Amino acid sequence: MARIVMKFGGATLASTGHIQEMARKAIAEKDKGFDVVVVVAAMGQTAKDVKMMVKRFTDDVSKRELAAVMSTCTQLSSSLFAIALQEAGYKAVSLTGWQAGIHTDRMYRHARIDNIDVHRIEEHFEQGQIVVIAGEQGVDDDYNITTLGKGGAETTAVALAIGLEAERVDIYSNVDGVYTADPRYVTNAQKLQEISYDEMLELSNLGSHVIHPRAVELAKKFQLPVIIRSSSVESVGTLLKEEVEMEKNLVVRGVAFEADIIRLTVGYDAYSEGSLADMFTILAENRINVDIIVQAIIDGLKPTVSFSILKEEFAEALRVLEDSKVSLGFSFADFEIGLAKVSIIGSGMASNPGVAARMFDRLRHENIPVKMVSTSEIKVSVVVPQDDMIRAANALHDEFNLEQALYI
Amino acid sequence: MARIVMKFGGATLASTGHIQEMARKAIAEKDKGFDVVVVVAAMGQTAKDVKMMVKRFTDDVSKRELAAVMSTCTQLSSSLFAIALQEAGYKAVSLTGWQAGIHTDRMYRHARIDNIDVHRIEEHFEQGQIVVIAGEQGVDDDYNITTLGKGGAETTAVALAIGLEAERVDIYSNVDGVYTADPRYVTNAQKLQEISYDEMLELSNLGSHVIHPRAVELAKKFQLPVIIRSSSVESVGTLLKEEVEMEKNLVVRGVAFEADIIRLTVGYDAYSEGSLADMFTILAENRINVDIIVQAIIDGLKPTVSFSILKEEFAEALRVLEDSKVSLGFSFADFEIGLAKVSIIGSGMASNPGVAARMFDRLRHENIPVKMVSTSEIKVSVVVPQDDMIRAANALHDEFNLEQALYI
């Protein structure tokens, strides 16, 4: 029997009424003849509430215990979802991460999935049950509970779909698809019918939070179709797949932007071949996401490396740098706050020279200073003052005629 | 290294402040050189809150899902307790039932412990960790989460102590020991320094809820010392052990009472040898606790069997009887509500004839009608109208001079 995986975000499960409504969506797929796996995030506020309780004890909780305590949130929503399905007359069972066979590494709060043993899920399918899985969690080799960190529930959904050879994953949230830009801020933003994994990867890496890049990466690797759809509006959503048929005439397919960027700059007295690698290895080991990196080695000046990080990782990044100052051999660190990143994305960009130039030109016309630049095959990102972010996004949306994107 | 197990009830964990205070008690034992296991119940109101959420979906939830969802409550308190220990500078780790190796049968909401694999706990001891275990839960052979039902956390504590060959179990709650009668209702009630397992078993079976009989039975079987002590008052509490040295001059050592008793009476047209066994087998299979049983086979009258059950199990008992009417071969069922049970307990009773007679005589003097009677080697119970319960308890406490019980 064909299988699908449905992932429901926290906002779609905010109340018992919401859960009942989402249960009806799962039932609709079951009625079509699918074997259905449901992956749930934590209900609305529950994760925040539990974090508040932990905060009353300490600001420096052990990661193992935080994972153990936070895993109760998705366990709660998975059971309630199964209860809602049963109450509607359908067979259902809830599974925790360890029960669902989700094995991870030992990074308690940022664990990565090593493998999934789908054996048990398939047994439940044979009994006609809808299987509801607590997202964002797994178990390590020593049977400790781990949580998967950001994008964990989506990554769980995609990983399960791969393990189960499911037809597709449906991601339900309060957005109804992928847009050329965030419609809350960019007036003419249009919904895209399809988008490629790579484009989505760039978009989701760049602050358009409809689906986490971890999940997109995994889906791309196994060529798994993913649909981003609305929990409240009946619409087709946006399909993620390898080759996009439509809209290929558009070079730029989306504008993304992200506030609360901080630029860190590190200066060296003595700079060796390994300095750059050492720095980013240590940051990576501490799971600090570094985005744009600019290296400047200019004769007569001290070598510097600048990179951008998210505001929420700033304190941790400073701590790591401070601890590693001697071993990494740098002499000073400086930072600039109040920045934002604005990016244009499109897989047609590689074969269209001059796109970046057109972007910089428009920004200069708008009097928006560019602090850092980063480019890839399919995107160009600039770091600008946060106060100019929305204006820059609208200008670029207009510059590349995105109001003409095809949509349904 | 000597080991102890400490069990904390829900009221002792009602807030983060409470948890920090209880953590200090665990630390005090660790500092004395013990390897410490802490078993926690659900924090104050959390179990009630989760039950309320479930109720919004259905009144007829599947037992598997209810067990899965309720287990999150003790998982939460175990993690928070471990965090409190760590914050105080001690090594600690929280374990769920399945992580702690607690294997149970498949009765999701009333599971019984089959065996405990203490391997993992001992590994944590070797690392100098205080091990905090979510009480009331385990895992069945198919890796489903089970909950142990009433007295689950205490039973977990005793079972773990046996598996770990611990020196003793300390049960912390808001009562500071075992009394000759409930001091809220019986003016001269005295705290006992020691009590035998059998006496405690009768007391706890009879509505004196300081410790659940399941836990006492298990402790008796393995001769494990258990101390009932207060979470707020520094006092020695009451020690449960096999032979009680002190106070042996008192024939009756306690008066227990319990409200909300219902008497069910079943009448037969045809009564065979197996009728009685069949009836109580079916009730036991449905985990309905039957207490006093009175069988009357009188020539010329239809044979009847009366038994007492708790009010909360009334609906379920009626359903079971109704379903089994034909197979059990009885013709009518009748019931009387608004009853209570009052009992006197004492291991010296067996060698002191006339104790029951003295009890009935005093009740007659007090004009309290006796509806049912049950006796054992160490107790006599009577069922009386609920309105007379407190008066009966005080009268019997006075009759057997319990205000003279030794205490500290």
Q: Kindly tell me if the per-residue pLDDT of B140 is higher than 70.
A: yes
**Mean pLDDT confidence for A227-237:** 86
Q: Which pLDDT score is estimated for A211? A: 87
Lowest mean pLDDT among A251-255, A267-271, B396-400: A267-271
pLDDT-derived band at B307 (thresholds 50, 70, 90) equals confident
Q: Which residue has the higher pLDDT, B15 or B203?
A: B15
Q: Kindly tell me if the per-residue pLDDT of B141 is higher than 50.
A: yes
Cα–Cα distance for residue pair B230/B172, rounded to 1 Å: 5
Burial A252-276 (b: 16+ CB within 10 A, else e): bbbbbbbebbbbbebbbeebeeebb
Answer whether B89 touches A (CB < 8 Å). no
Nearest-by-CA chain B residue for A87? B58
- Sign of the torsion angle spanned by Cα atoms A332, A336, A340, A345: negative
Q: Which residue has the higher pLDDT, B14 or A208?
A: B14
Answer whether A143 touches B (CB < 8 Å). yes
Q: Which pLDDT score is estimated for B408? A: 32
Overall residue count recorded for chain B in this entry? 408
Q: Kindly tell me if the per-residue pLDDT of B257 is higher than 70.
A: yes
From the list B60, B69, B98, which residue is nearest A80 (CB)?
B69
Q: Which CATH class, in words, describes the domain spanning B3-174?
A: alpha beta
Same fold, B3-174 and B255-404: no
**Mean pLDDT confidence for B278-300:** 77
Q: Which pLDDT score is estimated for A244? A: 65
Q: Kindly tell me if the per-residue pLDDT of A63 is higher than 90.
A: yes
Structure confidence by residue, pLDDT tens digits, B78-90: 999 999 999 999 9
Which of B80, B93, B123, B143 to probe by mutation at the A interface, max A CB count within 10 Å? B80
Q: Using alpha carbons only, what angle is made at residue B194 by residues B193 and B200, rounded to the nearest 5 degrees?
A: 125
Cα–Cα distance for residue pair B139/B145, rounded to 1 Å: 5
Q: Which pLDDT score is estimated for B276? A: 72
Q: Kindly tell me if the per-residue pLDDT of A276 is higher than 70.
A: yes
Q: Which pLDDT score is estimated for B392? A: 95
From the list A57, A65, A83, which residue is nearest B57 (CB)?
A83
The complex's ipTM works out to 0.73
Nearest-by-CA chain A residue for B43? A53
A153 C-beta neighbours (distance < 10 Å), count: 27
Q: Kindly tell me if the per-residue pLDDT of B350 is higher than 70.
A: no
Q: B119 contacts in A (CB within 8 Å)?
A: none
Q: Which pLDDT score is estimated for B297? A: 65
Q: Domain B255-404 falls in which CATH fold? A: VC0802-like (3.30.2130)
**Mean pLDDT confidence for A145-159:** 93
**pTM for this entry:** 0.77
Lowest mean pLDDT among A102-106, A263-267, A271-275: A271-275
Nearest-by-CA chain B residue for A65? B79
Cα–Cα distance for residue pair A293/A306, rounded to 1 Å: 6
Structure confidence by residue, pLDDT tens digits, A107-117: 998 999 999 99
Q: CA A133 → CA A9, A33, A227, B376, distances in Å?
A: 13, 20, 19, 51
Tokens representing residue A20 in the block: 């009942």
Q: CA B325 → CA B207, B289, B297, B334, distances in Å?
A: 31, 19, 19, 13
Answer whether A104 touches B (CB < 8 Å). no
- Are the Cβ atoms of B93 and A64 closer than 8 angstroms? yes
Q: Which pLDDT score is estimated for B407? A: 43
Cα–Cα distance for residue pair A191/A206, rounded to 1 Å: 17
Tokens representing residue A325 in the block: 């100052």
- φ/ψ bin of A80: left (φ > 0), alpha (ψ from -120 to 50), beta (otherwise): alpha
Lowest mean pLDDT among A187-191, A241-245, A252-256: A241-245
Q: Which residue has the higher pLDDT, B246 or B100?
A: B100
Q: Which pLDDT score is estimated for A300? A: 67
Q: Which residue has the higher pLDDT, B286 or B5?
A: B5
Q: Which residue has the higher pLDDT, B312 or B68?
A: B68
Q: Kindly tell me if the per-residue pLDDT of A35 is higher than 80.
A: yes
Q: Express the helix, strand and coil content of chain A in percent, nearest 5 each.
A: 40, 25, 35
End-to-end CA distance of chain A: 30
Cα–Cα distance for residue pair A313/A291, rounded to 1 Å: 12
Answer whether B94 touches A (CB < 8 Å). yes
Answer whether B58 touches A (CB < 8 Å). yes
Q: Kindly tell me if the per-residue pLDDT of B355 is higher than 70.
A: yes
Q: Kindly tell me if the per-residue pLDDT of A407 is higher than 50.
A: no
Task: Report which secondary-structure segment, H or E, holds B392.
Answer: helix B389-399
Which of A13, A53, A144, A145 to probe by mutation at the B interface, max B CB count within 10 Å? A53
Answer whether A145 touches B (CB < 8 Å). yes
- Are the Cβ atoms of B80 and A53 closer than 8 angstroms? yes
Q: Kindly tell me if the per-residue pLDDT of B148 is higher than 90.
A: yes
Q: Kindly tell me if the per-residue pLDDT of A350 is higher than 70.
A: no
Answer whether B87 touches A (CB < 8 Å). yes
Nearest-by-CA chain A residue for B54? A80
Give which of A218, A184, A180, A185 is closest to A199, Cα–Cα. Answer: A180
Answer whether B14 touches A (CB < 8 Å). no
- Strand stretches in A106-205, DSSP E: 113-116, 130-134, 137-139, 145-147, 168-173, 194-196
Give the mean pLDDT of chain B: 88
Tokens representing residue B232 in the block: 């707020």
Shortest distance, CA A49 to any CA of chain B (angstroms): 12
**Mean pLDDT confidence for B279-303:** 76
Q: What are the boundaries of each domain within chain B?
A: 3-174, 255-404
Give me the residues paired with residue A95 across strands.
Answer: A133
Q: Which residue has the higher pLDDT, B259 or B299?
A: B259
- Are the Cβ atoms of B83 and A69 closer than 8 angstroms? yes
Give me the residues paired with residue A133 across strands.
Answer: A39, A95
Nearest-by-CA chain A residue for B139? A99
- Are the Cβ atoms of B56 and A96 closer than 8 angstroms? no
- Are the Cβ atoms of A58 and B145 closer than 8 angstroms? no
Q: Which residue has the higher pLDDT, B370 or B57?
A: B57
**Mean pLDDT confidence for A151-176:** 93
CB pairs under 8 A between A and B: 110
Q: CA A385 → CA A137, A258, A290, A357, B91, distances in Å?
A: 37, 11, 18, 19, 46
Lowest mean pLDDT among A283-287, A360-364, B93-97, B125-129: A283-287
Give which of A133, A140, A90, A132 is closest to A112, Cα–Cα. Answer: A140
SS3 string of B34-92?
CEEEEEECCCCCHHHHHHHHHHHHCCCCCHHHHHHHHHHHHHHHHHHHHHHHHHCCCCE
